[in-house]
A and B are shown apart, each in its own frame.
Chain A
Amino acid sequence: KNQVEQSPQSLIILEGKNCTLQCNYTVSPFSNLRWYKQDTGRGPVSLTIMTFSENTKSNGRYTATLDADTKQSSLHITASQLSDSASYICVVSVNKLIFGAGTRLAVHP
């Protein structure tokens, strides 16, 4: 079983709508939890980094939350844009990075 599980695997939303991506992890404790955005044909780019003690971190229209009790993190995207179409990867950092398989988001006009 993967130590970092993401859901859903894929998601289609209309431009302007909000969405929330989920990440469940079994690794504990950890140094930090990150969300990366990966555009098609590109490498992952960091969106947010949260330490074990942080509950929320925002980066523009992206807001990540962390619940250490339930071992869950979520990434909320507000007022989606076509450029948000990408894969979003949850990564937990211990002495190495443990990557989730990602959620593929498609934003349609």
Chain B
Amino acid sequence: NAGVTQTPKFQVLKTGQSMTLQCAQDMNHNSMYWYRQDPGMGLRLIYYSASEGTTDKGEVPNGYNVSRLNKREFSLRLESAAPSQTSVYFCASSEEGGVNEQFFGPGTRLTVL
């Protein structure tokens, strides 16, 4: 089992460009999450999907959109990237809900110039 995989691993964008971060899990988990991690701060939840077909905003959703493509895949889209979105992005999955253990992907390091 690969667990949670993310692509790409690194990305550099110019302000205003768009891109989609991909995430897939092979653990048959119902819930998936997108976080961002900034220096000196804890991980912050951007969006989550409690189950296939549903998505909800987290703590910092502005500037992002998500798509739960199927049970395995959950993508994060930046429509018009801004320097404030420079961060490391982690995807995670869990069996059910927020109180269960979450398994994290390796992260995507995004720089917006």
Interface residues of A (CB under 8 A from B): 2, 4, 9, 31-32, 34, 41-46, 49, 89, 93-102
Contact = CB atoms under 8 A, between A and B. Distances in A.
A46 B101 contact: yes
Contacts of B44: 99
B107 A97 contact: no
B36 to A, nearest CB: 11
Contacts, number: 49
B50 to A, nearest CB: 11
A80 to B, nearest CB: 24
The SS class assigned to the A binding surface is loop
Given A2-B42, A4-B42, A101-B41, A96 B98 contact: yes
A37 to B, nearest CB: 11
Contact of A96 (B4, B40, B45): B45
Interface residues of B, number: 20
A43 B107 contact: yes
The SS class assigned to the B binding surface is loop
Interface string B49-67: 0000000001000000000
B106 A102 contact: no
Contacts of A45: 104
6 contacts: A41-B106, A43-B4, A43-B92, A94-B98, A99-B42, A101-B41
Interface of B: 4, 40-45, 58, 90, 92, 97-99, 101-107
B42 A102 contact: yes
A89 B102 CA distance: 13
Contacts of B102: 97
A43 B99 contact: no
Contacts of A101: 40-42
Given A42-B107, A99-B42, 13 more contacts: A4-B42, A32-B99, A42-B106, A43-B104, A44-B104, A45-B104, A89-B42, A94-B99, A96-B98, A97-B45, A97-B98, A101-B41, A102-B42
